[in-house]
Structure 1
Amino acid sequence: MVFGSCLGSAALKTIRPVGFHVHFPRYLLTSSKSTSVSVPVSQATTRASPIVGRWLLGLSGMTFGAILLGGVTRLTESGLSMVDWHPFKEVPPFSEEHWRLEFEKYKKFPEHEHYVKERGEMSITQFKFIWYMEFIHRMWGRTIGAAFVFPAIYFFYRGYFSPVMKSRVFIYAGLIGFQGVLGWLMVRSGLKEPRRPAGLPPNENYIGVPRVDHYWLCAHLVSAIILYSLLLWGSFNHLASHSLVKPFSSVKRLKAYGHMGKALTFATIIYGAFVAGLDAGLIYNSWPKMADKWIPDDLIVSRYGSTVRNFLDNPTTVQFIHRMLAYTTVLTTGLLWVNVMRLGVACTGPRIRNAAHLVLGAVLGQSLLGITTLLCYVPVSLGSLHQCGGVVLLSSLLWFTHCLRAVPK
């Protein structure tokens, strides 16, 4: 059978009532009075679980905001305006003299020199704008840290965390701290003189554009995405209560599509970070072809050395791979939706069906945003929305796979 179907009535007679000793995984709750399960549930008290869930959901929302702010900061070229990093004592200059000193520090780095060559002298007002953009982004990150640490200490003290949740809290803490370190390493990489491209003849003049290393940019974004995903999944575990769905034969196929969709979305986001770091969105601003060709001539060029380096450092190749990953993601999530629709709501239940609708809407919206952003030469507004659209798509796939956990094995 291509798409599978619900189990027949004879097969369903073999399913024991939920109140008996059905061998569900340990994280499933069973009840003799209800066919409702929460998947999974902390071993903390019933009263504490929603509180912890709302806390995790709030933290995931704040992390989403940090991702949005990071995109705007990069697109407004504000990320290199603060040339120092102090974990606890960063405050805005409080007088014109202090602003002047801060501006003079900025002028010592290649970013300012490049700005002058491209646009003329920068005014102190313009500097204040980019400085505050970076400052807000950094302070938002510190706010996330505070919103995590103080409630976590309280919840530990009150015994709100199960043993499993306690270990997860330490993982969250490590990722938040690691994210701050990665952010500074990324900024520091952009304060150096631009690297001369590999393979460029020695006698050829090269005027580099100061930018952060795209590997550090990717690491910074990916770590934020991982933190966001873990927090969101944790909030689902504490807040979502799914009604038991009768087993159906295609559940493994749907789970496979869901996991494949998450992996492809994650890979597309990684290459989206490479596109951003290499300014690869400012070349081949046409669709569906790249200029007038399906496969551009400079997809693999010798000056980058090996083929692998082309896949990582060549802006043309990076944009091409980003496109191909996006197409594959659309195809996979489209098949996910078709499979759910073929099964019918009587088989999957309304929640799984609605989650599939959410995935389809997210992937179509993200595709439209990506094409429009490319054709419009990556304006700040569209570029920021496109970055967030990838996170929304990943969130919808996380929700879809979480809903599938209500189907007994």
Structure 2
Amino acid sequence: MVSRPPLGLIRSYATSRPSLTPTPLTALRQLAAHRFQQQRLQSTATITPSDLSSTTAASSTPLISRPIVALHLFALAFLVYAIVIVGGLTRLTESGLSITEWNPGFRGLHLPTTTPEWESEWAKYKQTPEFHLLNSRMSLDDFKRIYMWEWGHRVLGRVIGVAFTLPAAYFIFSKKVAGSTRFKLAGIAVGIGFQGFLGWFMVKSGLSVPKGSEGRAKMVTPEKGGKSVPTSSAETLVATAEWTPRVSHFRLALHMGTAFLVYLAMLHTGLAVQRDYKAATLTGSPSGVPLRNTSTLSQLANTLNHPLLRGHARLVKVVAGLVFTTAMSGALVAGLDAGLVYNEFPTMGEGRIAPPIDELMDDRFAQRQDGSDKVWRNLTQNPVTVQLIHRTLAVTTACTVLALAWRTHRLGRVYSAAMKAAGGKAMLPSLPPRVTSLAKASVAVVAAQVTLGITTLIYMVPIPLASAHQAGAMALLSVLVAMSSALRPIPASVLAKGLGRNSGVLGRVLNSTSAHGKVATKRVAV
């Protein structure tokens, strides 16, 4: 129910019109204040679902995406999380090379059912180096077990591609997606397709003997004597001269890294869509702040635009980048089986923090005769060196995440003190609750991740612990991405919806950031 202006004010304004005499200044001020108060107290009843599909003159694209788009992204992000875990189990069970053909599209969905079909697939596998060098005693039943892991991994990838692309296309053509979100969905779709190509690109590297820089297999003579055998960039110290068939660890890291990026893009886009819809309709709790009216929305917008929070948001992104880098170094460790050397922590043999330099810079990893590639090949291909790098990054990342959580707690105290000293109502009295809760969650997740990493190393990479460690990396990245989303400023188009197109209020919200990082007296309470 819309309230009416005071009766005396109406009479004063009405009686002044026939005589065209000047309206008293006090009456004008009261009338302006009343009109502004009505706009300020605008409720959700004035914002209808049809507003969310309103268009501009230049485009037929809605300004706000519908919440179903966010739910779709969250569901697909869960499936991508699952396929990363399944992919890790496929690698840990050494099943990734069991299917020797790509078979893109629906052809890859076919599962052998008859004995001739299984024998045909097995005959193809028998031509691979992995069978000749590692699994020559494998039975058909053993082959079926590893085949099912790889087949399941590929089928889940196809399910994700179809389950994402078809609904996303429907949302776009039915005008349920905002303009900026359309490009994000298209980018995610391209990433899914590229991920499928990378999967085969990775598997293909393990189906043949690697070639040296001169186009022929590099041969190395074993230390114990005997004839020379081929070696590769994926050799270990134990099998330096006994080449172990495996996929390229570089391609493995690229394949896993792309999956991580697709997952994070889905999660971040879904959170953005959900938060913007809640802000535009004044429903729910964006960043953990319940929206009751436009005043709360403007306070949240001012808070998220504060220089203290903008600087903290940039720091969160830097920490997330460090976590991602550490996870990719873990992929190199996995691809080289580097977790099977120096299975103790924090030392690496005989009480040393790091192995001797001759192990870290082994001459045998150089592919060129002059040894000019010795350093970078040891840094990326020597299991001992790669494990040391991963250890160093992991410890650094853990300390950085803990420091971020402490800084978030300190930021909350500094911000609250500044708001109390200012005494204004233009911003929230404290940090958005979701920011502080996610900071606490990051401490718990990083503690679990460090524990899983150490136990995986000590117990020589058991499959359950190794899989949980990989899942923990994605969980930590999820927390940091959610924190970054909670700190993200509210777009102007969303504010225009949530504030009822009140351009005066909107202008004050958008221009309320102080250039000096302090709560300035120029901020106008909304």
Structure 1-normalised TM-score?
0.84
In structure 1, the residue corresponding to 2:151 is in which secondary structure?
helix
Q: Check conservation: 1:199, 1:304, Cα contact below 8 A.
A: no
- Range with greater deviation from structure 2 (253-262 or 350-359): 253-262
Structure 1: stretches of 5+ with no match in the other structure:
1-19, 21-29, 36-40
1:263 aligns to 2:315 (yes or no): no
In structure 1, the residue corresponding to 2:135 is in which secondary structure?
helix
CA distance in 1, matches of 2:466, 2:43: 47
- Correspondence 1:70-219 to 2 at 5 A: 70-87=87-104, 88-90=106-108, 91-116=110-135, 121-193=137-209, 200=220, 206-219=241-254
Deviations 1:127-185 (A, max 9, x none): 11100100000000000011012112211221112221221122111111100000001
CA distance in 2, matches of 1:32, 1:158: 33
1:295 aligns to 2:354 (yes or no): yes
- Range with greater deviation from structure 2 (336-345 or 355-364): 336-345
Q: Check conservation: 1:194, 1:211, Cα contact below 8 A.
A: no
1:92 alignment partner AA: L
| Count of residue pairs brought into register by the alignment | 373
Q: Which residue of 1 aligns with 2:394?
A: 326
Deviations 1:208-242 (A, max 9, x none): 11000111101100110111111100010012323
Q: Check conservation: 2:63, 2:178, Cα contact below 8 A.
A: no
CA separation of 1:198 and 1:248: change in aligned 2, threshold 3 A: farther
CA separation of 1:94 and 1:353: change in aligned 2, threshold 3 A: same
Q: Which residue of 1 aligns with 2:294?
A: none
Task: Determine which structure has greater relative contact order: mean sequence separation of CA pairs < 8 Å that are 6+ residues apart, divided by chain length.
Answer: 1
CA distance in 2, matches of 1:31, 1:331: 45
CA separation of 1:31 and 1:270: change in aligned 2, threshold 3 A: farther
CA separation of 1:47 and 1:251: change in aligned 2, threshold 3 A: closer
Q: CA deviation at 1:55?
A: 0.5
CA separation of 1:254 and 1:34: change in aligned 2, threshold 3 A: farther
Structure 2-normalised TM-score?
0.66
1:382 alignment partner AA: L
Q: Check conservation: 2:64, 2:177, Cα contact below 8 A.
A: no
CA distance in 1, matches of 2:157, 2:476: 23
1:54 alignment partner AA: L
- Of structures 1 and 2, the larger Rg is shown by 2
Q: Which residue of 2 aligns with 1:385?
A: 468
Q: Check conservation: 1:70, 1:137, Cα contact below 8 A.
A: yes
CA distance in 2, matches of 1:199, 1:333: 45
CA separation of 1:370 and 1:199: change in aligned 2, threshold 3 A: farther
CA distance in 2, matches of 1:386, 1:178: 25
CA separation of 1:344 and 1:165: change in aligned 2, threshold 3 A: closer
- Range with greater deviation from structure 2 (309-318 or 200-209): 200-209
Q: CA deviation at 1:250?
A: 3.8
1:363 aligns to 2:446 (yes or no): yes
CA distance in 1, matches of 2:64, 2:85: 33
Q: CA deviation at 1:46?
A: 8.9
- Range with greater deviation from structure 2 (68-77 or 81-90): 81-90
Q: Which residue of 1 aligns with 2:24?
A: none
Q: Check conservation: 2:219, 2:228, Cα contact below 8 A.
A: no
Could you tell me which of 76, 92, 113 is aligned with 1:59?
Answer: 76
CA distance in 2, matches of 1:253, 1:168: 25
CA separation of 1:139 and 1:31: change in aligned 2, threshold 3 A: farther
Q: CA deviation at 1:114?
A: 2.4
Could you tell me which of 365, 370, 376 is aligned with 1:304?
Answer: 365
CA distance in 1, matches of 2:196, 2:333: 22
Q: CA deviation at 1:65?
A: 0.7
Q: CA deviation at 1:201?
A: 5.3
1:86 alignment partner AA: N
In structure 1, the residue corresponding to 2:96 is in which secondary structure?
coil
